[in-house]
Structure 1
Amino acid sequence: MGEGDELPYWLALRRAGLGTTSFALLIAKFGSIAEAWNAPPGELKAAGIDEPYVRSVARVKASFDAEEELRKLERAGARALTWRDAEYPQRLREIPQSPPVLVVRGNAGPEFAHAVAVVGTRSVTPYGRQAAETFCAALAELGVAIISGLARGVDAIAHRVALEHGAPTVAVLAGGVDQVYPRENAGLAERIAENGCLVSEYPLGTPARRDFFPRRNRILSGLARAVLVVEAGEGSGALHTANWAFEQGRDVFAVPGSIFSLQSAGTNQLIRENTAKLVARPEQLAEELNLLHAGAQLPLPGAAAPAAQAAQVARAAAAASDDPILQLLAAGPLHIDELVRALGRPAAEVSGALALLEIDGLVRQAGPMTYAIA
């Protein structure tokens, strides 16, 4: 029996809830998943499979139709990759707890030579939005694939910016690839499938569940060369992704945020604990990952990067002409407290605005909490 003939049984055992450890035990005992599928319950127990899973396998067997399982994939426009497929992503194969089956829907594979996972809060602030857009646009112009989780907030921004710049993007789901969550991102998911792919370790028809998201994050970081956390509060799922990345030996970077913003408490914590390296400008991230050299070797349209850079300069200039902070700083350096009083705005808002202006290269720190025109 060939590897392709075994695929339905890999899918069936996933429907029974078996995961990485169970599949490894079955392969060690039986040599093939088809043999394991046909083994009686006693032999499954002898292989080390726990009783609840043995019963689950028996329930799935009672109604399983191998041909129908493959037709489901075809109807969904999806394909499934197992550990034994050459197309299974090499980066993912090497991580602890790698998924035995990866379901993929889209026009591209899930692995790219240069890929960065961009994650962050669902409750993104204007600062987080601009930071995510700035970094993702720069990565996309270098031809880097952007990986994220299709959630609201930073995830959705990362995917959209990649699409707008013609870069591939991969969405890792916490349910089946035919069960997009949140539903408001269904249209975005279809666009991702056209210029990248949706991936999941869960069988078709599996709805997203709260407890699936933390485990999903190990795949998100596992597919990437590095992880960038843009804005994340304490206990955020983005921090779980950063922790997975740290364990997997991936580089972790974080965009610093305002000390007054709850949405930046997690990112600032990652930097403080040296779990993540601070990056305040896209150029710093590109240099850290040697992406500037790598990007020069990629088949990008020659005029795309200069055009995008010119557009960014034009936007910055237009913003500068009307920006009240820059107008105040034109008279000389000011402490943030002076800016807060002069603008009559909350300290967190002013701090976030200053961070964005610093990222754009329009202001600089002239002293502790003191800013000046760059």
Structure 2
Amino acid sequence: MSDGDELPYWLALRRAGLGSTSFALLLAKFGSIADAWRAEPGDWRAAGVEDAYARSLARVRASFDAEQELRALERAGARALTWRDAAYPERLRQIPQSPPVLVVRGAAGPEFAEAVAVVGTRSVTPYGRQATETFCAALAELGVAIISGLARGVDAIAHRAAVERGAPTAAVLAGGIDQVYPRENAGLAERIAEVGCLVSEYPLGTPARRDYFPRRNRILSGLARAVLVVEAGEGSGALHTANWAFEQGRDVFAVPGSIFSPQSAGTNQLIRENTAKLVATPEQLCEELNLLGSGAQLPLPGARPAAAAATAAPARRCGRRPHPAAAGGRAAAHRRRRAGARQAGGEVASALSMLEIDGLVRQTGPMTYGIA
């Protein structure tokens, strides 16, 4: 039996709620999911499957329609990848608790040569919005895929930065790919599918649930080679993604923020505990990821991903310059005067961030600062 012939049974086991541990046990016992599907419930239990999952699988088997499941995938314009498919993302295959089945819809992915997961708070500040746009524009213009979760705030900003530049991006959902949450991002989801893909480990029709979000975060980090946390408060889901990344051996980076901003409490904590490395400019991130060549600099505004890739030698460039910060207050002005030259917007933003961390200035408005 081919892997394609087995696909409905993989989908059936997922509908029954079985996860990576149960799949691994059944494959070890029966050699194929199709043979496991045809076995008796007692055999499933003997293989090590918990009783609750064995009962659920028996219920699903009594009513499961393989042809209907495949037709539903076709109508949704989706495809399903299993552990045994060559197209299953190799990075994801190697993580603990890798999802046995991925449901994917879109023009590209879910495996990308270069990918960075960008995560952060839903309650993004003007500073966080600008930082997200700046870093994601740089990555997108280099052709690096941006992985995120389609949530409000940082996630949505990160995805938009990619689609507006025609760069690949993947949204990992905490429900079926036909159950976009929040609904306000349904239009964005369609744009993502045009240049990248929507990804879920859950069957079609599965609504997003609160307890699904922490687990889907392991897929966010698993699809990427690194994670960038922009703004995250204490207890933020973005911190869960950072923890998954740390366990998976991924690099974790964080953008520093104001010590007075609740939205930056988590990111500053990651930096303080050395869980994440501080990056204040896109150049720093690209250098850490070895995306820059000798003498590289930021490209002129308006560069496209294909153009950036075509100019890889000898000086490969990374993204566009950050938007200049409208910095007010004597401390910021004094800092610029001492520098002796007009600094680029990204350098000013970086300097102000460090002054905030040191408690020397404070933010008094959107990108406006005064002496603390």
CA drift of 1:358 comes to 3.0
- Structure 1 Cα separation of the partners of residues 136 and 253 of structure 2: 13
Give secondary structure in 1 for the equivalent of 2:306: coil
- Structure 2 Cα separation of the partners of residues 101 and 252 of structure 1: 26
- For the 8 Å contact 2:118–2:147, the answer to whether it is kept is yes
Counterpart residue identity of residue 176, structure 2: G
CA drift of 1:293 comes to 3.9
2:306 matched residue in structure 1: 300
- For the 8 Å contact 1:103–1:202, the answer to whether it is kept is yes
Counterpart residue identity of residue 324, structure 1: G
Q: Which runs of 4+ in 1 moved over 6 A?
A: 303-308, 360-364
Identity rate, percent: 77
The unaligned stretches of length 5 or more in structure 1 are: 335-354
CA drift of 1:175 comes to 0.2
- Structure 2 Cα separation of the partners of residues 27 and 18 of structure 1: 13
Counterpart residue identity of residue 185, structure 1: N
Q: Which TM-score applies when normalising by structure 1?
A: 0.85
Counterpart residue identity of residue 75, structure 1: R
1:247 matched residue in structure 2: 247
Structure 1 residues 224-243: aligned runs within 5 Å: 224-243=224-243
CA drift of 1:74 comes to 0.2
1:13 matched residue in structure 2: 13
2:341 matched residue in structure 1: none
1:204 matched residue in structure 2: 204
- Structure 1 Cα separation of the partners of residues 58 and 199 of structure 2: 27
Counterpart residue identity of residue 63, structure 2: S
1:367–1:232 Cα change, 3 Å:
closer
Q: Which TM-score applies when normalising by structure 2?
A: 0.85
CA drift of 1:325 comes to 3.6
- For the 8 Å contact 1:105–1:199, the answer to whether it is kept is yes
Structure 1 residues 135-284: aligned runs within 5 Å: 135-284=135-284
- Structure 2 Cα separation of the partners of residues 201 and 22 of structure 1: 15
Greater helix fraction, Structure 1 or Structure 2: 1
Give secondary structure in 2 for the equivalent of 1:301: helix
1:81 matched residue in structure 2: 81
In the alignment, structure 1 residue 117 sits paired with structure 2 residue 107 = no
Q: Alpha-carbon deviations, 1:93-131, whole Å to 9, x = none?
A: 000000000000111120111100000000001111011
- Structure 1 Cα separation of the partners of residues 73 and 356 of structure 2: 59
- For the 8 Å contact 1:131–1:356, the answer to whether it is kept is no
Q: Alpha-carbon deviations, 1:196-240, whole Å to 9, x = none?
A: 000000000000000000000000000000000000000000000
1:359 matched residue in structure 2: 349
- For the 8 Å contact 1:173–1:200, the answer to whether it is kept is yes
- Structure 2 Cα separation of the partners of residues 366 and 208 of structure 1: 38
1:308–1:102 Cα change, 3 Å:
closer
Give secondary structure in 2 for the equivalent of 1:300: helix
CA drift of 1:307 comes to 12
- Structure 2 Cα separation of the partners of residues 58 and 185 of structure 1: 37
1:26 matched residue in structure 2: 26
- For the 8 Å contact 2:179–2:208, the answer to whether it is kept is yes
CA drift of 1:361 comes to 6.8
- Structure 1 Cα separation of the partners of residues 287 and 347 of structure 2: 21
Give secondary structure in 2 for the equivalent of 1:13: helix
- For the 8 Å contact 1:130–1:356, the answer to whether it is kept is no
Give secondary structure in 2 for the equivalent of 1:252: strand
Report the more deviating stretch, 117-126 or 362-371.
Answer: 362-371
- For the 8 Å contact 2:106–2:194, the answer to whether it is kept is yes
Give secondary structure in 1 for the equivalent of 2:58: helix
Give secondary structure in 1 for the equivalent of 2:70: helix
2:59 matched residue in structure 1: 59
- Structure 1 Cα separation of the partners of residues 11 and 123 of structure 2: 36
The unaligned stretches of length 5 or more in structure 2 are: 298-303, 337-344, 362-368
